């Protein structure tokens, strides 16, 4: 069937099978390979994207369920070439090692900070509890999110120059 | 790579439309709500429906409200919405206790209450919570709606009384005075099914238990309830001794089996201990409501 999904602000109309998972639509049809396809069983959270305003595990959502809705992926975090504070936080605090879980972690972190701008470490851990880092770099992930909370205004014109390549 | 088998898809635009689609496509059609149970089952070919009827657009089934002395939860309500509902928590704290430990925060964003109940996993948490609260399930077909008690809802593992052509639309819990409730779960890690879990609801008259509900999940309790323990509690004093005995009775009557989550004797022990803890906390809450 034909679906139109708004991904990171742009409408994409495609003919898809009902069984096509959203993660595969994003990666294979739209070539947005930032979202990772991990455990395939909605346990690991590598595939987390936003569906409308909430983070979901896109390996457990059919593309047809996203028809007429908005999806935000890790590619949609930066604005005008400037990294989101969450992305900067992960860079500053060594929030990633292999990087596989990172896109999902960052999208959940962005949601958390949008709703709780000053989260405790416990709140951060709870928010990320459905996501697995197999490098076990959790301490630095929590620090990265906290860095983003402390630098909510990061990403302005002045700090753009400091964004790591 | 796990992908579901080929399937047809229909998007329902109203409850009536969903019911008409169910009638048209017959018993091989499945309702698709959050999909967080159904889609994994489809990937594994444990479920292979011919047609999915997507009800995610039915905002009329997404609500939490108190009317006519009962809390009403629309079947399409997401777990996160129930967890965040001050109204639900105020009347039935057990629901928020349970929601905090159901799956993980991301799964709770999209998984639905009705979907969890209709999946009817024998380790599902809300089934025990609703059994303890003596909830009522509202099931609709094209001719109207019927109600069944939470304890009649499940007919076995992964089986419910919801027939092909029918749709679970609402969960209803009558608000009674002097009530308090709580849920206690032991799990191995975030997102896992419980090793064992118990829910308790108490309705007090002074220091006497006017009525009690005890729900158990993952331990083979019939109808997710400990009916014998409830029977013992009814009319008993709300004391530690009563709770201890009720826990013992609950443990005696459940039928846990050994699996990768733990041996049967440990699960039986949990059934007693978690029943006692849930009763204690329910009592504290019932007294706070009074105060």
Check pLDDT > 60 for residue A155.
no
B46 touches chain A (CB under 8 A): no
Q: Report residue B203 as tokens.
A: 């309705």
Strand partners, B238: none
Within a domain: residue A165? Answer: no
Within a domain: residue A161? Answer: no
CA distance A106 to A42: 17
What domain range includes position A51? 2-76
Q: What is the tens place of the pLDDT at every residue in A49-102?
A: 999 999 999 999 999 999 999 999 999 999 999 999 999 999 999 999 999 999
Q: Do A130 and B103 touch (CB under 8 A)?
A: yes
Q: Are B114 and A56 in contact (CB under 8 A)?
A: no
Mutate to test the interface with A, among B84, B106, B188 (most CBs of A within 10 A): B106
pLDDT of residue A159: 45
CATH topology of domain B61-174: 3.30.465
Chain A residues touching B56 at Cβ < 8 A: 65
Q: Report residue B54 as tokens.
A: 């997507």
For residues A20 and A56, membership in a common domain is answered with yes
Question: Which one of A49, A76, A103 terminates a domain?
Answer: A76
Rounded to a whole number of angstroms, the CA Rg of chain B reads: 19
Q: Do B105 and A62 touch (CB under 8 A)?
A: no
For residues A64 and A100, membership in a common domain is answered with no
Q: What is the CATH number of the domain that holds A117?
A: 1.10.150.120
For residues A49 and A69, membership in a common domain is answered with yes
B142-155: average pLDDT? 97
Check pLDDT > 70 for residue A160.
no
CATH topology of domain B179-290: Enolase-like; domain 1 (3.30.390)
Q: What is the tens place of the pLDDT at every residue in B17-53?
A: 999 999 999 999 999 999 999 999 999 999 999 999 9
Within a domain: residue A160? Answer: no
Give the predicted TM-score (pTM) of the model.
0.95
Question: Which one of A33, A49, A76 terminates a domain?
Answer: A76
pLDDT band at B68 (very low <50, low <70, confident <90, very high): very high
Please tell me which of the candidates B54, B80, B109 has its beta carbon nearest to residue A64. B54
Q: Report residue B148 as tokens.
A: 């069944």
Task: Report how many domains make up chain A.
Answer: 2
Q: What is the tens place of the pLDDT at every residue in A112-149?
A: 999 999 999 999 999 999 999 999 999 999 999 999 99
For residues A69 and A118, membership in a common domain is answered with no
Please tell me which of the candidates B43, B52, B106 has its beta carbon nearest to residue A45. B106
Q: Are B103 and B191 in contact (CB under 8 A)?
A: yes
B241: Cβ contacts below 8 Å, ≥ 6 apart: none
CA distance B226 to B215: 6
- State residue A43 phi and psi, 5-degree precision: -105, -40
- State residue A137 phi and psi, 5-degree precision: -90, 40
B207-215: average pLDDT? 98
ipTM comes to 0.94
Whether the CA torsion B100, B106, B109, B112 is positive or negative: it is negative
Nearest to B275 by CA among B94, B72, B57, B38: B94
For residues A65 and A122, membership in a common domain is answered with no
For residues A61 and A105, membership in a common domain is answered with no
What is the distance between the terminal CA atoms of chain B, rounded to a whole angstrom?
Answer: 57
pLDDT of residue A153: 73
Residue B17's SS3 state is: helix
B35 touches chain A (CB under 8 A): yes
Token pair 């323990």 is found at B229
B86 touches chain A (CB under 8 A): no
Chain A, residues 90-129, CB within 8 A of chain B, namely 108, 126-127, 129
Q: What is the tens place of the pLDDT at every residue in B229-239?
A: 999 999 999 99
- Percentage of chain B beyond pLDDT 90 is 97
Mutate to test the interface with B, among A2, A20, A57, A133 (most CBs of B within 10 A): A57
Pick the CATH number of B8-54 from 3.40.50.970, 3.40.50.1220, 3.30.450.20, 3.30.43.10: 3.30.43.10
pLDDT of residue A154: 64
User: Which residue of chain A comes nearest to B44, CA vs CA?
Assistant: A41
Q: Are B30 and B46 in contact (CB under 8 A)?
A: no
Question: Which one of A76, A95, A125 terminates a domain?
Answer: A76
pLDDT of residue B1: 75
Q: Do B6 and A17 touch (CB under 8 A)?
A: yes
Q: What residue segments make up the domains of chain B, in order of their start?
A: 8-54, 61-174, 179-290
pLDDT of residue A165: 44
Q: How many beta-carbon pairs under 8 angstroms link A with B?
A: 83
């Amino acid at each position: 069937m034909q679906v139109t999904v708004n991904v990171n602000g742009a409408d994409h109309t495609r003919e898809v099978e009902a069984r096509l998972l959203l993660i595969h639509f994003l990666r294979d049809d739209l070539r947005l390979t930032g979202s990772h396809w991990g455990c395939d069983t909605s346990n690991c959270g590598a595939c987390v994207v936003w569906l409308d305003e909430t983070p979901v595990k896109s390996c457990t959502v059919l593309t047809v369920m996203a028809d007429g809705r908005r999806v935000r992926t890790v590619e949609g975090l930066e604005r005008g070439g400037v990294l989101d504070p969450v992305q900067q936080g992960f860079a500053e605090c060594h929030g990633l090692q292999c990087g596989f879980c990172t896109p999902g972690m960052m999208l959940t972190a962005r949601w958390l900070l949008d709703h709780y701008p000053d989260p405790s470490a416990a709140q951060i851990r709870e928010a990320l509890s459905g996501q697995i880092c197999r490098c076990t770099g959790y301490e630095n992930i929590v620090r990265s999110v906290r860095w983003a909370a402390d630098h909510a205004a990061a990403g302005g014109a002045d700090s753009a120059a400091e964004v790591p390549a | 790579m796990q992908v579901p088998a080929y399937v047809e898809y229909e998007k329902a635009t109203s409850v009536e439309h969903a019911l008409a689609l169910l009638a048209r496509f017959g018993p091989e059609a499945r309702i698709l709500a959050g999909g967080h149970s159904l889609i994994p089952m489809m990937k594994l070919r444990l479920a292979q429906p011919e047609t999915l009827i997507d009800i995610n657009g039915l905002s009329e089934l997404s609500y939490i409200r108190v009317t006519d002395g009962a809390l009403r939860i629309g079947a399409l309500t997401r777990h996160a919405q129930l967890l965040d509902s001050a109204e639900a928590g105020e009347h039935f704290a057990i629901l928020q206790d349970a929601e905090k430990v159901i799956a993980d925060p991301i799964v709770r964003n999209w998984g639905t209450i009705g979907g969890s109940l209709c999946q009817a996993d024998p380790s599902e948490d809300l089934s025990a919570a609703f059994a303890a609260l003596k909830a009522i399930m509202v099931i609709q077909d094209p001719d109207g709606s019927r109600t069944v008690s939470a304890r009649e809802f499940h007919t076995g593992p992964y089986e419910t009384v919801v027939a092909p052509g029918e749709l679970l639309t609402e969960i209803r819990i009558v608000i009674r005075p002097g009530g308090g409730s709580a849920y206690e779960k032991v799990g191995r890690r975030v997102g896992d099914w419980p090793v064992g879990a118990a829910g308790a609801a108490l309705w007090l008259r002074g220091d006497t238990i006017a009525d009690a509900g005890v729900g158990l999940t993952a331990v083979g309790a019939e109808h997710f309830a400990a009916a014998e323990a409830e029977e013992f509690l009814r009319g008993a004093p709300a004391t530690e001794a009563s709770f201890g005995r009720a826990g013992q009775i609950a443990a005696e009557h459940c039928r846990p089996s050994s699996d990768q989550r733990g041996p049967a004797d440990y699960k039986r022990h949990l059934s007693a201990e978690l029943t006692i803890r849930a009763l204690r906390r329910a009592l504290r809450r019932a007294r706070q409501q009074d105060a």
